[in-house]
Amino acid sequence: MTTTFASRHPGAVEWAQEQGLLGEGSRIVADYDPETVQPGQIVIGTLPAQLAARFCERGGRYQHLTLDLSPELRGKELDAASMRACNARLEEFFIQRASVMPAGSRKLTHLCIVSDQSLQNLLPTRVAGMVPDRCVLLVSAEMKRKGAKMRLRHALAQSGLKQIDLVDDVAEWSLVADRSDPSAPQTDRPRR
């Protein structure tokens, strides 16, 4: 597998050659397209995180050329000797991309299946950092008839939730299936 050294800095290329990092078949490029990386291929450089993440997503290995730079050396061209003095080394990074939402833009919806037992629907609304912006109550005809919908809605409102939406007449489904109906879901329930 080839090693690609992606750098536009002559001192970095000189340092890599002195370190024996660029063997036969290695490539030196100023710019590198992450879409060309093959699984297992090593890419060495000082690349932006989004490019390094793409290398990792495609199965490549990214080794970052790390230096301990003082503030006065940042942004300056360094030769191989200066790089050695700055403790130049390779560090392999496994970078995974994740989306980050700006603070305050997160909207959390709490989905509740209304039942005779409301506690499991109320507890998550009390967890710091998880208080929902909206609750959606899924209500079967039976839970509506028993008044469970109104009890839960009232308890959620008392918790400070302002947006509570109802979806009435949700179909009933039971884990205890009618075994005479071949289309019904089957369960293995112990007999008494």
Residue 29 included in any domain: yes
For 44-76, what is each residue's pLDDT tens digit? 998 899 999 998 998 999 999 999 999 999 889
Strand pairing of 89-93 and 61-66?
A: antiparallel
Whether residue 48 is contained in a domain is answered as yes
Model's pTM, two decimal places? 0.53
Q: What is the mean pLDDT of residues 134-151?
A: 91
Q: Domain check: are 63 and 134 in the same one? A: no
Q: What is the 3-state secondary structure (H, E, C) of 4-41?
A: EEECCCHHHHHHHHHCCCCCCCCEEECCCCHHHCCCCC
pLDDT bucket at 12, cuts 50 / 70 / 90 = very high
pLDDT at position 172 is: 79
- Percentage of the chain exceeding pLDDT 70: 86
Same domain, 87 and 17: yes
Residue 136 pLDDT: 92
Rounded Cα gap, residues 137 and 24, in angstroms: 65
Residue 100 placed within a domain:
no
Examine the domain organization and report whether 85 and 126 are in the same domain: no
Is the model's pLDDT at 31 over the cut of 60? Answer: yes
Residue 51 belongs to what domain range?
3-93
Half-sphere exposure of 135 (CA within 13 A, CB side): 26
Do 69 and 46 belong to one domain? yes
- In the listed set 43, 69, 93, which residue is the last one of a domain according to the structure? 93
pLDDT tens profile 96-142: 887 666 666 678 888 889 998 888 888 888 887 778 889 999 999 99
49 CB-near residues (< 8 Å, 6+ apart): 95
Please report the pLDDT score of residue 92 as a whole number: 94
Same domain for 79 and 13: yes
Range with lowest mean pLDDT among 27-41, 149-163, 164-178: 164-178
**Residue of 106, 133, 136 whose CA lies nearest to 121:** 136
> Do 11 and 64 reside in the same domain of the chain?
yes
pLDDT at residue number 191 = 45
Residue 110 structure tokens = 């709490």
Among 60, 93, 126, give the residue marking a domain's end: 93
Q: What is the pLDDT of residue 185?
A: 52
Query: In this structure, what DSSP letter does residue 128 have?
Result: T
Nearest to 40 by CA among 23, 56, 16, 20: 56
pLDDT above 70 for 188: no
- Pair 85, 146 in one domain: no
| Tally of domains in the chain | 2
Mean pLDDT, rounded, of the chain: 84
Half-sphere exposure of 184 (CA within 13 A, CB side): 13
What tens digit of pLDDT does each residue of 20-30 get?
988 888 888 88
CA distance readout (Å), 64 to 9, 15, 94 = 14, 14, 10
Do 64 and 126 share a domain, yes or no?
no
